[in-house]
Structure 1
């Protein structure tokens, strides 16, 4: 488990997404997650939608199911799923900026401005749960899993997309890539595949699938870096956001080249887990 010297907390995560809300939406869009280039010629928008469809396949949705979107962002994933399935979805986000947009997504989607680690949801009240790049922001990853297990009914399923510490990451990669990525991206820690599997098992989950798609998602950050550079020239609001000393999260710009390198060297991996309740 990679843990920076001064780990972020829930309040720091909320500030990060609120401050960078204009940049996230203008540079990448409403899907605050990687794209998935399975064929290689997809547009960034198609790639982002493709990752949602991959998660959708692993959730094995059926009419009438109740889903929990852990770290729902702007609610774009939930809205996408609801166009194809007769289900209901409850999402949680720490960011007021995200919450304002997510609340208007769909009558079948309810967005709560709430910390997942103190979610207050009834036990055994959901059939499926998914977390797309949100578990990284959890201060207590063991509790992330125990809460997921608590709210799922018997036979429930959990799908998690996560940034992971690569096996055999070298000391220089940890020092110059992974630790700064955690600090700049407001990740209290970055677990490995082994860490996630152990924590999920301890919480009462049985692993039913794992897929490493690091190669298929890594193009995301090259596109983001190019778009940021263009926006710095053409968009005065993005330029002010990036250059202002008042922006607490502006150091995340430094993580874009780090993320490109970390995914290319294997210091960081991108995995999709699929678990069922025991």
Structure 2
């Protein structure tokens, strides 16, 4: 992707999250990401969302082995939900970056409200053109943000630069099944990408290959598709509240632009993607080699 095309994509991502910030927070709280359940569990309704989304953060911490007290770069920090856990429960020092100025502002407000502002700060910045020195962090944390970055090999390479020797990268991401897709599967994926302002999906296996190609050690991934699929249950996702009020949706579109409608269209598409096995979800961890 050219620099101009990347700039256009970044602007679209910023606009999407600025436009939908209050909708996500009203419906989903501070965690703008999937929830996590044991296989076979069913969600009990929207009130359970915080418990499930909190658990996803804990699962990623455990899978990646995030040490307490780490210095963490949170790539695509949203409104700061995971960072507040890292700074609060684990005593980490977190610097969050997001393309959305509105998200950064809200995340800083929430850090102050939670009493962790001295350990959690958020700025508007493109993670791929960041201003951090080499070897600034013990951990790079990317929870559902890598899907917005088109050059994923460049991402792994840049994050390796930012990590100290022995540092860890922890990723949770939307993904797609490995291998070639059928025409019908491609159509579904393209619709999800369009409505969620994402350039492409990679398979979990491809993420692993890219991390290895960038020079990481101890690379592994886990498939959490079955654990997170309940997030798109229509009642649990709480989008039904708006779908039943079509006039409200149209008012939002007139007020904020048609991009906001992607928020509502994504749910049924994601549910179908998980049900058909086209879309997947998982976590990736890797370690920067220690110098001899």
With normalisation by structure 1, the TM-score equals 0.89
State how far apart, in whole Å, the 2-side matches of 1:225 and 1:64 are: 34
Please, which runs of 5 or more residues in structure 2 have no aligned partner?
none
Task: Determine if contact 1:125/1:151 at 8 Å carries over to the other structure.
Answer: yes
8 Å contact 2:175–2:201 — kept in the other structure?
yes
Match of 1:20 in 2: 20
Change (3 A) 1:256 1:172: farther
Q: Which structure 1 segments of 5+ residues have no match?
A: 1-5
Q: Which secondary structure state, in structure 1, belongs to the residue aligned with residue 258 of structure 2?
A: coil
Higher normalized helix content (fraction of residues): 2
Secondary structure (helix, strand or coil) at the match of 1:122 reads coil
Counterpart Cα distance in 2 of 1:232 and 1:84: 37
How far off its partner does 1:188 sit?
1.1
Following superposition, the deviation at residue 247 of structure 1 comes to 3.1
Match of 1:100 among 85, 96, 105: 105
Instruction: Give 1:1-278 correspondences, 5 Å limit.
Output: 9-38=9-38, 40=41, 43-104=48-109, 105=111, 106=116, 107-168=118-179, 170-223=181-234, 227-233=238-244, 240-242=251-253, 246-278=257-289
Give the number of equivalent residue pairs.
Answer: 273
Question: Closer, same or farther in 2 for the Cα pair 1:98/1:206, shift >3 Å?
Answer: same
The answer to whether the 8 Å contact 2:101/2:123 transfers is no
**Distance in 2, Cα, partners of 1:168 & 1:61:** 31
CA distance 1:114–1:216, change in 2 (3 Å): same
Q: Name the CA distance, whole Å, in 1 between partners of 2:124 and 2:137.
A: 18
Which one scores higher on RCO, CA 8 angstroms, separation ≥ 6? 1
Q: Following the alignment from structure 1 to structure 2, what is the Cα–Cα distance between the partners of residues 176 and 139?
A: 19
TM-score, length of structure 2 as denominator length: 0.85
d(CA) in 2 for partners of 1:193 and 1:255? 21
Deviation of 1:83 (Å)? 2.1
**Root-mean-square deviation over aligned CA pairs:** 2.4
